[in-house]
A and B are shown apart, each in its own frame.
Chain A
Amino acid sequence: MSEPHAIVLSVNGRAVDAKVEPRRLLADFLRRDLNLTGTHIGCEHGVCGACTVLVDGRPARSCLMFAVQADGCEVVTVEGLAGEDGRLSPLQQAFREHHALQCGFCTPGVLISLTSLLGASPDPDEAVIRDVVSGHICRCTGYQAMIDAARAVAGRGVPGRS
């Protein structure tokens, strides 16, 4: 019944050929079949955002997509954000400078969402940054440092804390 389907997609710029069972979630395909364990699974119902990846340039919950649906798509995961030489992207560097991560579990998803935002809109308002971050749940940091990091990359600098 649930015959495997052949899929062809690009992941972090590399072509991937695979056969997957229809029900295999994209998140599990990335993590287990491609060994890209940077994308994390936190809730499996689309609420926490830890599994967020880019699909054809847009942030999407990989726990709410099946790998078969990614056939013909371009997927970018957190592993695709740093440079080839391992150098952190400006946003990753800003996260480090602003202490925007603690346990690191929600971090890849947030990086994807903010990378996507800053790519489309290099100088977003803080309200827009907050809106994007609101699609993620973090239990460690309190989010402010993530917003500061995004603002720093956007060139606005970090607002003074009152």
Chain B
Amino acid sequence: MATRYLGAAVRRVEDPRLLKGEGCYVDDLALPAGLEAAFVRSTIAHGLIRAVETSAARALPGVHAVYLAEHLGPAAERPMPLASPHPLLIQPRTQTPLATDEVCYVGQPVALVVADNRYIAEDAAALVAIDYDPLPVITDCRRALDPAAAPAHRGADHNRAAILTARFGDAAAAFAGAAFSLAERIEMQRGGAHSMEGRGVAVMPSPDGTGITLWSSTQAPYMIRRLLAAHLDWDESRIRVIAPDVGGGFGPKAVFYPEEVVIPLAALRLGRPVRWIEDRREHFQATTQQRLQAWDVEVAADAAGRLIAIRGQGVHDAGAFVPHGVLLPLSSLWPFPGPYALQALDLSLDVVFTNMVPTSPVRGAGRPYANFVIERLIDRVADALGLDRAEIRRRNFIPRDSFPYATGMTYRDASKVTYDSGDFEACLTEAMQRAGYADFATRRAAAAKRGLRRGIGVASYVEDTGAGPFEGVSVRVLPNGRVHAVTSAASQGQGHTTIIAQICADALGISPDLQQGVQGVLIIVAVALSLDRARLKIVK
């Protein structure tokens, strides 16, 4: 395929609308006779709901309904489906869309208020009185497996969600025979995504009463449809899911949330459109976060700084539920050993429950954790042996004549991780050149005289992308000369409309006037999985 548009600097077709404030995000939809909702969320980390008083809230003028789980039927009272079931999940716990008897994290939804507008909904939400019996709380994942640790879930024997391991070679022998080893404790705190647009769900029942249209500020419209249909036991054809303009995703919007069940149930019950827009406080409390991971790791090396083996024990904070299965902690293992030729690896990661909001992939989705551990260790070895940090990496890179290279790891689809090609040393050399690494010491000294402290860091990684199993695009050339391209790759700012237009233009030899916006190519969100881990653009 000759490339004229792909790789060229083109203007985005998305921009004119967005620049003029003509974007349509979930809160911008004009929903006729629409109502607005507010959730009443748990204010404690763990407890039993003894009683909920809603009469004052219901009586407020402008309030149309106050729902608890029991009012919305069985679909609100049974646990939500797992997005990524996995045989290693020991306790595959998901929450019920509204809490029934137990709350397990601050922010967990307990009740829904539907009113004429959000102001009144919040007034009513403030009037809902929940009587809790507090239960013991575990918030520190590093303590979650202690014998005396409080169970995150009432009645649970332990807080272990899964044990994940990554092993190849004989680490014990490697350490026994190594000239040098060191140990390190590495901790990585939780983090939120904080897209500028929070989450939001709007649902309109279909006029003939058979289905719904659901708009969600989501990265994964297809996954929402599939899982909601499964949960409601509906044929998927009854549900239309639309991701309109989405103001950033970064990972947490690729989760199937309780709000995405509760709002449809409320809309169906009321026979009117219902919209819920997350505010910033809710984003802090009830939108998934990433990590926390804590590792005790050791690295064995020879006297020349060549790493031989890494072994360690880690703990990963899943939060109170695992809606995303173990995808995130798994993603933090298979990137080992990065670009380095390691003889042995022995890692064990305990995925544990805590009474915190659940964790799921955010920006990099676990790979940066593995990378942080590896890069930290190699820097520590360099320090200990008096080696330059770039030089030690050079000594440890998989040599350019060793590709294709099987790293020893197993990928999430059970295939063996193999790097097909690479010249890591050349990358490092070029990076060092561009960074002026060779004479950095001089610049540092000059800066120090002016009272400025300078530092330089080196890190390297191999990132997997284009993960399968599939993504779909269908392209049709219409009689009027326009081209329709249909894909499920929802965008939250990545500019997929423009990218697809570029690809189609090159593939079909057409010349879309990209400056004019959508002239040659149209994008409609439809088929296949969902935007997950940057797999849209793989160019061969």
* A-to-B contact residues, CB < 8 Å: 21, 23-24, 31-32, 35-45, 48, 50, 77-79, 81-82, 86, 88, 92, 95-97, 99, 101-108, 111, 137-140
Contacts and interface: CB of A to CB of B under 8 A. Distances in A.
Contacts, number: 109
Interface string B465-492: 0000000000000000000000000001
Nearest to B248: A103
Nearest to A136: B196
Contacts of A78: 19-21
Contact of B16 (A79, A96, A138): A96
22 contacts: A32-B117, A37-B24, A42-B196, A42-B198, A77-B21, A78-B21, A82-B19, A92-B20, A96-B11, A101-B15, A103-B196, A104-B15, A104-B247, A105-B25, A105-B195, A105-B197, A106-B196, A138-B196, A139-B194, A139-B195, A139-B250, A140-B493
Interface residues of B, number: 35
Interface string B428-452: 0000000000000000000000000
A40 B16 contact: no
Nearest to B247: A105
Contacts of B245: 103-104
Interface string B13-31: 0111011111111011010
Interface in B92-142: 117, 119
A95 B14 CA distance: 12
Given A82-B19, A99-B12, 13 more contacts: A23-B119, A45-B280, A50-B196, A77-B21, A79-B20, A103-B196, A103-B246, A105-B23, A105-B196, A105-B197, A106-B247, A107-B18, A140-B493
B495 A102 contact: yes
A151 to B, nearest CB: 18
Contacts of B383: none
Contacts of B246: 103
B385 to A, nearest CB: 33
A40 B18 contact: no
A110 to B, nearest CB: 10
B15 A96 contact: yes
A117 to B, nearest CB: 17
Contacts of B30: 35
Contacts of A95: 15, 19
Given A37-B28, A104-B14, A106-B196, A96 B19 contact: yes
A103 B492 contact: yes
- The residue in B18, B25, B246, B493 that gathers the most chain A C-beta atoms within 10 A of its C-beta is B18
B360 to A, nearest CB: 17
Nearest to A81: B20
Given A96-B16, A139-B195, A104 B280 contact: no
Contacts of B495: 102
Contacts of A103: 195-197, 245-248, 492-493
B494 interface: yes
A97 B11 contact: yes
Given A139-B195, A140-B248, A39 B21 contact: yes
Given A31-B27, A102-B493, A140-B248, A40 B197 contact: yes
A37 B27 contact: yes
A88 B247 contact: no
A40 B15 contact: no
Contacts of A106: 196, 247
B21 A88 contact: no
